[in-house]
Structure 1
């Protein structure tokens, strides 16, 4: 697999000329929306064979970009739980049930359990191609299925997990001091429970005082915890390729 980190939680995956996008957003609505000021521009030079989203929040779901990049024969793949909403938006998505593996060209994709911080419908995605396996965690918070996911899948070449431990004050939910996404210590722990060769942090770098607070000293805590739990962390700038480590077969 050839991997490229896009903005925020976005990821581009290539296999033998085929392209899969997940949570790829270019059009972040300004104002109260969450997301980077200068997102990676990918729409003009991308033709996607498959598009996945973890959930419907505007920092993970960009209908305009999806319409622009998806090939006429391409597949828009989503959890069956959000198919009605996507259909209402004018798409003809392929709905997949939890833990059901589907193959699209070179890619095998499986939606697995995730927990949204404000109670909306969300999944994480297991993506397999070229003998490698990754997990994309959307913006999940901590939940009690990570142990089972580790037992089921046994190994990941990389896990892409939110690390910003966001504490929010937004109109539709009562404010609390409890993070709605994984914190640094939680993300590192998840990577260990999933037996991942490397953790690639995503979903960080946005802070808006009084509305959306990123975990304080995020990078310092990641460094401490990755050392304590012996988890390799690969910080990757948006727009850059993700080079997975080569791990010996007997490691």
Structure 2
């Protein structure tokens, strides 16, 4: 199994002989910037078997950027399905928490999530390996219970920036580093990779709209304290990790 973080929450996951793309985001704007190098352009992506989308926010669902790949199946919750079909994606599989779909011998199961809008997370299983992809969810009790259903996790991909919306009374919509470390302790994956921590809303947006933590090292320290058996890997965009 191999994972390559393209940037933000967008990863290439190679598992069970299949290649999946998570939460595509390739188009940078003044108010939506991943805050880090985007490792690949769409035309440099390898052949894909599927694209997994957790929710409709632009930084996780940049569908306009990937319309050259309308032959690739999209897996998404109901809030994304209509737009994907309108853009010409030929196969759109609607999954809500508890639903599953298959790509050959790889099974993708939607699991619960909680964010500012409707969101699902995903468990991906293939060739005896199990991955949790957390999109940009908050930590909720249902996620702590995933090992009871899926067994041991080999890899967890978790958001950590604790994003808050200033105009909404600093409402938190993404788990922070400490909460993500707590979820790591509950899931007990062999390896955890943080994501969703460099994002910026632009200079004015960061001052007036969003507030976020950008310290992956703090997450690594918390995991070492709460889940010392789990290896933390801080992946630069474009650097593959083979497990």
TM-score bucket (shorter structure): 0.7 to 0.9
TM-score normalized by the length of structure 1: 0.84
Match runs of 1:25-36 below 5 Å: 25-28=25-28, 30-36=29-35
How big is the alpha-carbon RMSD for the aligned residues of Structure 1 and Structure 2? 2.1
Matched, 1:201 2:191: no
Query: Secondary structure at 2:145's aligned position in 1?
Result: helix
Distance change (3 Å), C-alpha of 1:221 and 1:57? same
Distance change (3 Å), C-alpha of 1:223 and 1:98? closer
Write the distance in 1 (CA, Å) between the matches of 2:93 and 2:40: 26
Distance change (3 Å), C-alpha of 1:16 and 1:108? closer
Pick from 128, 132, 137: which aligns with 1:131? 128
Matched, 1:215 2:208: no
The answer for unaligned runs of 5 or more in structure 2 is: none
The number of aligned residues is: 234
Matched, 1:185 2:182: no
Write the distance in 2 (CA, Å) between the matches of 1:52 and 1:112: 12
The answer for unaligned runs of 5 or more in structure 1 is: 245-251
Report deviation, 1:37. 5.7
Distance change (3 Å), C-alpha of 1:188 and 1:88? same
Aligned residue in 2 for 1:99: 98
Q: Whose helix fraction is larger, Structure 1's or Structure 2's?
A: 2
Aligned residue in 2 for 1:163: 160
CA contact (8 A) 1:80 1:95 kept: yes
Q: Residues 58-91 of structure 1, C-alpha deviation per residue, up to 9 Å, x if partnerless?
A: 1011113332235x3x311112453234334443
CA contact (8 A) 1:138 1:161 kept: yes
Query: Secondary structure at 2:39's aligned position in 1?
Result: coil
Runs (4 or more) in structure 1 with deviation over 6 Å come to none
Aligned residue in 2 for 1:6: 6
Report deviation, 1:34. 4.3
Report deviation, 1:27. 1.4
Aligned residue in 2 for 1:58: 58
TM-score normalized by the length of structure 2: 0.86
CA contact (8 A) 2:184 2:223 kept: no
Matched, 1:83 2:76: no
